[in-house]
């Protein structure tokens, strides 16, 4: 799903509680710097938000990435493209796999993102992630899931898969094998899609290990 820059900014301003203050944080290229706070956390960016002609200008890439949106720059057309696929994730322990067989019924998937998923320390097993994505502009997409530890380091990924996704969307299951969760804390499971030569996170969910 693609949004215009203006549309994305309106959404961010209304939904995230961004707080602005000018004239207090120095200047950048001669313009007053503003502080940007998203969900009570200050945004750190190499290019700050500034005030230009009475309007607040924000670093689109840094802000979009806070919402797992992908930002692409087309220099030939001078266009910024912000891409935010609609993805739902349902994560379960492999041991509970058969309890979820009926999640797919009559060609309809019903996925409810349960929020935090709790796993025991020392788990050495499969991690399964059901996903539902789309609609998307019809083309071949490459995707995977990736698990990050509480310090933000990537632990493992699933095997990447290719699939044509269209206006009907798509669904499937991805797994990470031989997973060892040795440290308690909050882990992040990210659903990633490949844009260019890089995998980008387009949604994520939290896994609590205790």
pLDDT in tens, 26-83: 888 888 888 888 878 888 888 888 888 888 888 888 887 777 788 878 888 888 888 7
Q: Which domains does the chain have, with CATH numbers?
A: 2-83 (no CATH), 87-209 (2.60.40.10)
Q: In what order do the strands lie in the sheet with 31-34?
A: 27-28, 31-34, 49-52, 55-57
Q: Is the pLDDT of residue 9 over 70?
A: no
pLDDT in tens, 117-170: 778 787 666 788 888 888 888 989 999 999 999 999 999 999 999 999 988 888
Place 189 in a pLDDT band, splitting at 50, 70 and 90: very high
Torsions phi, psi of 5, nearest 5?
A: -60, -45
Three-class SS of 25-71: CCEECCEEEECCEECCEECCCCCCEEEECCEEECCHHHHHHHCCCEE
Rounded Cα distance, 64 and 70, in Å: 7
Whether the CB-CB separation of 103 and 131 falls below 8 Å is answered with: no
């Amino acid at each position: 799903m693609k949004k215009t820059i203006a549309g994305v900014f309106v959404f961010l301003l209304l939904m995230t509680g961004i707080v602005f203050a000018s004239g207090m944080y120095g200047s950048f290229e001669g313009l007053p710097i503003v502080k940007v706070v998203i969900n009570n956390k200050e945004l750190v960016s190499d290019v700050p938000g500034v005030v230009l002609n009475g309007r607040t200008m924000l670093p689109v890439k840094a802000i979009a990435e806070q919402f797992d949106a992908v930002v692409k720059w087309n220099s030939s057309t001078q266009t910024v493209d912000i891409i935010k696929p609609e993805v739902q994730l349902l994560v379960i322990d492999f041991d509970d796999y058969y309890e979820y067989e009926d999640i797919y019924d009559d060609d309809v998937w019903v996925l409810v993102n349960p929020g935090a998923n709790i796993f025991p320390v020392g788990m050495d097993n499969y991690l399964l992630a059901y996903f539902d994505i789309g609609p998307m502009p019809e083309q071949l997409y490459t995707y995977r899931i990736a698990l990050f530890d509480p310090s933000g380091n990537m632990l493992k990924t699933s095997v990447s898969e290719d699939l044509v996704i269209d206006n009907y969307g798509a669904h499937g299951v991805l797994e990470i094998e031989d997973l060892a969760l040795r440290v308690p804390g909050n882990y992040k499971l990210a659903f990633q899609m490949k844009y260019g030569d890089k995998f980008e996170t387009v949604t994520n969910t939290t896994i609590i290990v205790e």
